[in-house]
C-alpha cells in the first residue's frame, strides 16, 4: 500500500545540493542589489516580467526558445490582458545550476522567475537571503495556484513556515517497474518469478541454458550505476518496519533522492549484488554506464533477460527500446513484473516526492506580484491543459476526459508542443484531474499497442511504495557535502559489488568509512539532532 508522508516532519523541505559554488561569488551579495533591469517597462508601458526557460537546443525550424507557439499563447492570454510583457531568458539545461548561480549573483541580470530541481540550491538561496518570501503574495495573488498545488506540495517550498519557493506539482509519483523476457521464460517453461529468491533461480537458468541463443554476450540481469537499476533491489533489502527515528536519521538524502545507506539491510542488499556479479549474472561493466545507453542498447539487441527501469521508459517513442527489440529479435517479448520482495513480503520501492521544480523569485526582483500572477494564471481555467496538450483535433482527442495524443498529428501541430514541459513549469508531467486521470494521461502518451503494458508498469510503480523523508528545517550538511557524497555512494555501489566474494566485508567497510568521513557522519549527526529537537516540540 502507498504510504502517506509523516505530517509531523513533512511541513517544510529537506536540504541537499549539487555543490556547484562559483569561487568568489556569494548569492546574497548579488541578490541584495537594488538594481534590476526587470523593473523596466516596454515601449507600450507594459511591465516587463523576465522568466527563466530551459534551452535544450531542440527548437524546430521557425521557432526559437523565446519566440514560439507557447510564448505567443502566454502573450495573448496573460501578457496583453494584464499589460505584462513576459520575456524569456534561456538557460542551457545541461549546465543550468552553474548558469543559475551566475544569474543569482549578478543581481541586475537575474530573471524575476528562476527555478531548479535541486533542493540544496533552493535551500542555499533561501538561507542566504536571496529569495522573496512568497507567503503573503501567494495568499493575495495566487488563489488558483494554491488550490492547484495543495498543502502537501506547497510544503516542499517552505522553510520554517515561510514560503520561499513554489514547487511544481508532479503528476505521477510511481518510479520503478521491472521487465523480464517472457519468451525466455516460455522457452524454458519457467513460471514468472514472484520473489527475489525465485528471480535468482530464473537468472541462473537464463545464464546456464541461454534460451535466446545469445552466446557470450548474454546478460541475465541488466545493470547500470543509475538509480533506476539498483534502487529497487537495494530498497527491498531494507528491514521493515522501521521506526520514525530510523527513517529520519539513517536515510541519507543526496541531490533530490533518498538513499538507504545506513538503514538496516542495505549491506545485505549490496552483498546480494556482489553475489550476482561474481556469478556473472549482471552487466560486467555496469559501473561505466551512467546514462543507461549501454543498457538500452543491450536490451534492444536481445541480450538482457531482466532489468529494472523508470516505469514504462522503454515504451515511449523517444526512447524506442521496446520497439527496437521487437524489430531486432523475432518473437522477443518483455513483460512488466514486480519481483523484489522484502522481509514483510512486500515489493517495497521508493516513490517520488509530490513536487518537481522549485520555482523561485529572487529578492532583487521588483516584479514579485506579476510573477505570482503569471503562475496563478497558468493554474487557472484551461491554460495549463492547453499548454500541455495543444489544440483539440490537431494535437489530441479526448477519451473519457483524458487527452490522447494523435499519432497522425501534422508536423506543425507536433512542433507547437516541443517545449511544453519547460513552459508549463507549475507541473511535472501532464495533469488533467484526478490521480487516476493523470495516470491515464501518462499512459496514453505511449503508442496504443504498448498501453496495456504501460498501465501494468504504472500499477507496479505505485505498489508498496516508500515515500521520501522530509524535515521541517534544512539539513545544512546535506547542502555542504551532497555532491561529493554522491560520487562516494556510487563508488560504494560499484566497488563493493565488484569485490571478490571473500573480500566483500573488507571492501564494504573501507568504502563506508570513507563515505562517512567525507560528510556522511556530519549528515547523520545533524539529522539525529534535528529529529530529537522536532520530537521534543
Beta strand extents in 406-455 (DSSP E only): 427-428
Pick from 349, 352, 393: nearest CA to 236: 349
Query: What are the Cα distances from residue 273, in Å, to 215, 252, 356?
Result: 23, 20, 31
Considering the domain architecture, whether residues 129 and 36 belong to the same structural domain is answered as yes
Considering the domain architecture, whether residues 212 and 279 belong to the same structural domain is answered as yes
Considering the domain architecture, whether residues 72 and 129 belong to the same structural domain is answered as yes
- Look up residue 447 and give its three cell numbers: 503508442
Considering the domain architecture, whether residues 66 and 128 belong to the same structural domain is answered as yes
Considering the domain architecture, whether residues 28 and 121 belong to the same structural domain is answered as yes
Considering the domain architecture, whether residues 340 and 363 belong to the same structural domain is answered as no
Please identify, among 329, 364, 380, the residue that sits at the C-terminal boundary of a domain. Answer: 380
Considering the domain architecture, whether residues 274 and 342 belong to the same structural domain is answered as yes
Flag whether 395 is in a domain.
no
Residue ranges making up the domain that contains 108: 9-172+355-380
What's the confidence (pLDDT) of residue 5?
40
Is residue 134 reached through a cis peptide bond, with omega within 30 degrees of 0 on the bond before it?
no
- Summarised one tens digit per residue, pLDDT across range 204-227 is 999 999 999 999 999 999 999 999
Cα gap 97→104, rounded to integer Å: 10
What's the confidence (pLDDT) of residue 537?
53
- Look up residue 255 and give its three cell numbers: 541531490
Flag whether 406 is in a domain.
no
Cα gap 381→409, rounded to integer Å: 25
Q: What pTM was estimated for this model as a whole?
A: 0.84
Considering the domain architecture, whether residues 17 and 164 belong to the same structural domain is answered as yes
Find out whether 110 and 103 touch, Cβ atoms under 8 Å. yes
Find out whether 171 and 429 touch, Cβ atoms under 8 Å. yes
Q: Which CATH number belongs to the domain containing residue 144 in this structure? A: 3.40.190.10
Flag whether 329 is in a domain.
yes
Beta strand extents in 292-372 (DSSP E only): 304-310, 334-337, 349-350, 355-360
Considering the domain architecture, whether residues 207 and 311 belong to the same structural domain is answered as yes
Considering the domain architecture, whether residues 166 and 313 belong to the same structural domain is answered as no
Flag whether 459 is in a domain.
no
What's the confidence (pLDDT) of residue 259?
97
Considering the domain architecture, whether residues 51 and 101 belong to the same structural domain is answered as yes
Low-confidence ranges of the chain (pLDDT < 70): 1-39, 536-537
The torsion angles phi and psi of 88, rounded to 5 degrees, stand at -105, 135
How many structural domains are present in the chain?
Answer: 2
Considering the domain architecture, whether residues 232 and 245 belong to the same structural domain is answered as yes
Amino acid at each position: 500500500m502507498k504510504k502517506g508522508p509523516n505530517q509531523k516532519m513533512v511541513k517544510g523541505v529537506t536540504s541537499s545540493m549539487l555543490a556547484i559554488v562559483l569561487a568568489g561569488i556569494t548569492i546574497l551579495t548579488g541578490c541584495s542589489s537594488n538594481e534590476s533591469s526587470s523593473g523596466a517597462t516596454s515601449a507600450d508601458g507594459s511591465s516587463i516580467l523576465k522568466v527563466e526557460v530551459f534551452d535544450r537546443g531542440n527548437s524546430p525550424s521557425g521557432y526559437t526558445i523565446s519566440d514560439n507557439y507557447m510564448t505567443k499563447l502566454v502573450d495573448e492570454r496573460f501578457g496583453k490582458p494584464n499589460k505584462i510583457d513576459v520575456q524569456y531568458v534561456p538557460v542551457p539545461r545541461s549546465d543550468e545550476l552553474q548558469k543559475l548561480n551566475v544569474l543569482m549573483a549578478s543581481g541586475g541580470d537575474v530573471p524575476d522567475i528562476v527555478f531548479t530541481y535541486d533542493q540544496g540550491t533552493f535551500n542555499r538561496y533561501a538561507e542566504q537571503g536571496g529569495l522573496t518570501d512568497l507567503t503573503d503574495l501567494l495568499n493575495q495573488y495566487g488563489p488558483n495556484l494554491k488550490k492547484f498545488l495543495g498543502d502537501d506540495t506547497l510544503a516542499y517550498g517552505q522553510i520554517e513556515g515561510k514560503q520561499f519557493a513554489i514547487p511544481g506539482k508532479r503528476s505521477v509519483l510511481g518510479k520503478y517497474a521491472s521487465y523480464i523476457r517472457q519468451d525466455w521464460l516460455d522457452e524454458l517453461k519457467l513460471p514468472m518469478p514472484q520473489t527475489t529468491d525465485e528471480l535468482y533461480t530464473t537468472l541462473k537458468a537464463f545464464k546456464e541454458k541461454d534460451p535466446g541463443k545469445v552466446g557470450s554476450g548474454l546478460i541475465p540481469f541488466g545493470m547500470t550505476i543509475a538509480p533506476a537499476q539498483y534502487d529497487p533491489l537495494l530498497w527491498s533489502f531494507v528491514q521493515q518496519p522501521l521506526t520514525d527515528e530510523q527513517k529520519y536519521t539513517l536515510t541519507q538524502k543526496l541531490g533530490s533522492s533518498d538513499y538507504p545507506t545506513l538503514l538496516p539491510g542495505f549491506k545485505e542488499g549490496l552483498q546480494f549484488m556482489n553475489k550476482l556479479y561474481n556469478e556473472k549474472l549482471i552487466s560486467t561493466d555496469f559501473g561505466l554506464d551512467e546514462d543507461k545507453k549501454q543498457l538500452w542498447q543491450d536490451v534492444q539487441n536481445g541480450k538482457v533477460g531482466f532489468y529494472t527501469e523508470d516505469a514504462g521508459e522503454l515504451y515511449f517513442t523517444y526512447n524506442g527500446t521496446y520497439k527496437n527489440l521487437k524489430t531486432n529479435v523475432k518473437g522477443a517479448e518483455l513483460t512488466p513484473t514486480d519481483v523484489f520482495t522484502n522481509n514483510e513480503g512486500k515489493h517495497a520501492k521508493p516513490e517520488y516526492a509530490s513536487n518537481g521544480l522549485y520555482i523561485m523569485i529572487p529578492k532583487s526582483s521588483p516584479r514579485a506580484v506579476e510573477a505570482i500572477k503569471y503562475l496563478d494564471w497558468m493554474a487557472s481555467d484551461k491554460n495549463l491543459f492547453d499548454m500541455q496538450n495543444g489544440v483539440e483535433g490537431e494535437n489530441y482527442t479526448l477519451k473519457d476526459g483524458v487527452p490522447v495524443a494523435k499519432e497522425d498529428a501534422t508536423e506543425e501541430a507536433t512542433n507547437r508542443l516541443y517545449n511544453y514541459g519547460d513552459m508549463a513549469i507549475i507541473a511535472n508531467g501532464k495533469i488533467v484531474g484526478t490521480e487516476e486521470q493523470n495516470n491515464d494521461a501518462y499512459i496514453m502518451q505511449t503508442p496504443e499497442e504498448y498501453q496495456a503494458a504501460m498501465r501494468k508498469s504504472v500499477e507496479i510503480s505505485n505498489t508498496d511504495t516508500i515515500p521520501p523523508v522530509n524535515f521541517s528545517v534544512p539539513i545544512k550538511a546535506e547542502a555542504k557535502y551532497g555532491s561529493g557524497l554522491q560520487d562516494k555512494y556510487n563508488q560504494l555501489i560499484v566497488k563493493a559489488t565488484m569485490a571478490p566474494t571473500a573480500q566483500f566485508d573488507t571492501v564494504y567497510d573501507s568504502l563506508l568509512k570513507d563515505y562517512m568521513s567525507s560528510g556522511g557522519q556530519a549528515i547523520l549527526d545533524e539529522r539525529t539532532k534535528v529529529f530529537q529537537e522536532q520530537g521534543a516540540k
